[in-house]
Structure 1
């Protein structure tokens, strides 16, 4: 199939005419010698000429290019009819109608009917065709036609355990693997040049296998996919892992299982090969936002928007312990150290949404807890508090809550971001706030640290990702 270049120019001319760009319209016509004689309805113009509705005819023919002799005859007819306006004799009327019929036929031979906004319609149809036949993700929002890429807003980011890969999942459903050394798409993964790792809805969670060869992704529609990092091949798809969005994932390579938490308040495990549901953990009263599995693989820790941390026996699926993290505006560090969370809960009025729990490297059994409060807690698996890190904003009338946090590779620093977008760096050794700075123009939605190097990554709701070296 071949497309005439003149037709492409006509599409551009139509776009310019419809968007009120008369100078550009005229310049392209004169330079190319291609004229846009496309109208919405040839029949309508023909009928208007035959009925002598000259005001309508002139409007519809405005901007069209017709032969000089035809334009002369057309204008002559209009002048004659204006002169004959008071003439009522039948002969004159018949003659006038014959002249109109001749003109309408001549004019219509130079015109072509065309749908409005044809260029945009064709572009939209081509994107729809690619979506249906080449399995592109549903596109919502801005799309760059020249780069063939959408402006992705990041939903989740994650380093691989070996530190070679940095995965990003966007709210448009696309997954990309980056090289953290150069902060560019990984050059060793050739499949990313033409292939796509994608979901049909926003990606909310990512997880690597321990050997960094597998990547699991969870989406807004409750779907889990397992990918090969080296080839980009989809190895397994679990379309209905949960009834709602997948918020967190953990791959248990030794057991060939994948554990997932969801907006549906459930935690489930599925077989990596079969995709079948193996276990289900019930008890949380709201979203499950974070899950952790120690190396022993016998217990599971989970954090929820209901403000609680639960410890589960993986084999029996029973809940062993429940801790609640209250939202405290002010804390007495010395008084609270060593106090268990259930005692602390009694002193508070409400529970705060729990965003994340994560193990601290080099500190066996210690867990960093980030909830919606101006404090970060270090606890053990019994719920006892060992350290608290507080935002300097607690000394103001409007303290800012933390929304995300992570630990450095050697477990000596804690990085956290609050709701104003300020990033804080706390020392786990001295318990002091060492640095603070503004990371992004818009709200920071996530923060992760490289597993071996002093490299911090923050990502914002505006779609930007920043790499920070310390």
Structure 2
């Protein structure tokens, strides 16, 4: 394990697609690029060497890289989005009124020409980088939207919300095609029903190397792999209902492992092949707020409620 300087209060983190950079977004609005091996700022980037960091007026709640790693998007607590060129730190596009409230997640389209965002304002929006305009809005959630993603074929958008649902949207028409409520225990191969009592859905992300499956994390001691048609293919459970809830997930690059962080500050590692819990690691005393996996090495980066970033060796 290694830790980053404690004066840097992180609220979001991400790795670049090539694994070269670890980027943090802080409560003071600064965006900084780190060498994840040394825990030091990348001073080979001229703008950081000259103390000209990328920044926004409010705290950074979300970060995302384009597929080619050239662009970095940042979303602020005040609902603004900026898009940067990572090599020179220049802002190439601003969305000053992307949302009415904080931007909770960001996701580039595969081409890098569009940007998907979610917000505390209960909406999912699609932004055009060329036009600088909001192209589409996916509206229907009744609470915060925490995460969203494109399907591999770019025909659908999936979103996870604190209203306890995952919604599947038609990318072009913005029509809601399906509303799912994946909660505690679901039998594999069975469609997910709507639940009477729902826990917040915190994350939805694609399963590596599988085109039509996603990993969904409710605020429960359970994580599910499901198809975009709503069928659960695997569930990963802890027998700690009422004691521990998961607050975030990360998937290994090959999809062999799913990592979940709990409200007990433990990291739980599940083998996707068997569904078994293969490892548990205590990540400290402060609650863990976020977790990302390095794209090529067995390294996990986590940040906690105290704003500290730590790196851990993942199961290989």
After TM superposition, the score normalised by the length of structure 2 is 0.93
Q: What is the aligned partner in structure 2 of residue 177 from structure 1? A: 33
Aligned CA RMSD, in angstroms, stands at 1.7
User: Is 2:156–2:170's contact at 8 Å kept on the other side of the alignment?
Assistant: yes
User: Is 2:213–2:226's contact at 8 Å kept on the other side of the alignment?
Assistant: yes
Q: What is the aligned partner in structure 2 of residue 390 from structure 1? A: 237
Distance 1:245 1:305 in 2: 14
Q: 2:15 aligns with which of 140, 155, 159?
A: 159
Pick the structure with more strand per residue.
Answer: 2
1:341 aligned counterpart, secondary structure: coil
Structure of higher CA gyration radius: 1
2:301 aligned counterpart, secondary structure: strand
Q: Deviation per CA, 1:218-241: give whole Å up to 9, x if none.
A: 001010001010000111111111
User: Is 2:54–2:89's contact at 8 Å kept on the other side of the alignment?
Assistant: yes
Structure scoring higher RCO (CA < 8 A, sep ≥ 6) equals 2
Structure 1: stretches of 5+ with no match in the other structure: 1-148
Distance 1:151 1:376 in 2: 33
Q: What is the aligned partner in structure 1 of residue 303 from structure 2? A: 459
Distance 1:360 1:337 in 2: 16
Where do 4+ consecutive residues of structure 1 move more than 4 Å? Answer: none
Q: 2:136 aligns with which of 257, 279, 300?
A: 279
Q: 1:267 to 1:215 in 2, by over 3 A?
A: same
Structure 2: stretches of 5+ with no match in the other structure: none
Q: 1:373 aligns with which of 220, 223, 226?
A: 220
| Equivalenced residues, count | 309
Shift of 1:150: 9.3
Report whether the alignment pairs 1:340 with 2:191: yes
User: Is 2:66–2:112's contact at 8 Å kept on the other side of the alignment?
Assistant: no
1:414 aligned counterpart, secondary structure: strand
User: Is 1:183–1:467's contact at 8 Å kept on the other side of the alignment?
Assistant: no
Q: What is the aligned partner in structure 1 of residue 69 from structure 2? A: 212
Report whether the alignment pairs 1:430 with 2:279: no
1:393 aligned counterpart, secondary structure: coil
Q: 2:122 aligns with which of 265, 278, 286?
A: 265
Shift of 1:255: 6.4
Distance 2:273 2:226 in 1: 15
User: Is 2:67–2:111's contact at 8 Å kept on the other side of the alignment?
Assistant: no
Distance 1:210 1:379 in 2: 24
Q: What is the aligned partner in structure 2 of residue 421 from structure 1? A: 265
User: Is 1:179–1:187's contact at 8 Å kept on the other side of the alignment?
Assistant: no
**Comparing 352-361 with 456-465, which one deviates more in the overlay?**
456-465
Q: 1:255 to 1:441 in 2, by over 3 A?
A: closer
Shift of 1:386: 1.1
Distance 2:192 2:233 in 1: 11
